[in-house]
Structure 1
Amino acid sequence: MNTLVRYACVAVFAAMPAMAQDRVDHYAPQPSETLDAALANFSEYNAIMAGIMAKDSLTPDDMEDVHQLTYTLEVALAKLIAESTELAEQLEYVHQASEGSNGARLRDYGLTYLETAQKIVP
């Protein structure tokens, strides 16, 4: 796995428990059990937040709405990071297979990699 990806993942996951301890945990996030669900939640909830942030001034209700949104966004982002870590590992298999002379192995690894990668960026 790419060293930069590994460090980024470790840093985010290490910070998440500390962030969780500093807040009152009173909203249930939407689950992001799959990559597709995480991408949908991340897109939808960021769009909602963007609408709120586009206002000239934020009301206490707006701030509470953003607070509530962050629970789902944090869960979605954690899933995206986990999936990205796995994707980096898959890409490394593709890289190694491309150096060899085994076209069948390269095809298998490449198709598995692309299946996930194209969900993130079609």
Structure 2
Amino acid sequence: MKRFALAVLASLLSSGMVVADEHDRYEHFEGKPSETLAEAVTNFSEGNQRLAELIAADSISDEQMNEIHMLSYTIENALQKIDEEVDAMAILLEEVHLGSETLDQARVLTNGQEYLSAAQTLVE
């Protein structure tokens, strides 16, 4: 279920439904970077956990609202990287698919190994 939610959020990000336009932002923060898929998954998971803690309270202080605001940038960075990586995985999987249709073992093995390596990061 967790991985399904991750995939849905990545899809929403690519459709523009998750990230607000630059004009709509109160103040821009960089957030923690997500340079790799593994880093993005970690930042996404930890960011969501912290967000859940912050919004579970009966009321949210101004300081907590600021933390949520800054945290959202880290989560957005993670989602952008996850979206990029999932798109790349889809291309690799398509290569596996096409290779299997033409019985091209080298194409299947090369792309299949690269795909599985990336995909494993999402299912760990």
The yes-or-no answer on 1:30 pairing with 2:26 is no
* Conserved 8 A contact 1:9-1:85: no
Q: Give the total of aligned pairs.
A: 114
Deviations 1:81-120 (A, max 9, x none): 1111111111111111111212222111111110001101
Q: CA–CA distance in 2 between the matches of 1:54 and 1:66?
A: 12
Q: TM-score, normalised by structure 1?
A: 0.81
Deviations 1:13-71 (A, max 9, x none): x974x522211334231111111111111111111101111112222222111111011
Q: RMSD value over aligned CA atoms?
A: 2.1
Identity of aligned residues (%): 39
- Flag structure 2 segments of 5+ consecutive residues without an equivalent: 1-10
Structure 1's consecutive aligned runs of 4 or more residues displaced over 4 angstroms after TM superposition are 7-10
- Flag structure 1 segments of 5+ consecutive residues without an equivalent: 1-6
The yes-or-no answer on 1:11 pairing with 2:6 is no
**Match of residue 67, structure 2, among 51, 65, 68:** 65
Q: CA–CA distance in 1 between the matches of 2:14 and 2:121?
A: 23
Which residue is 2:93 aligned to?
A: 91
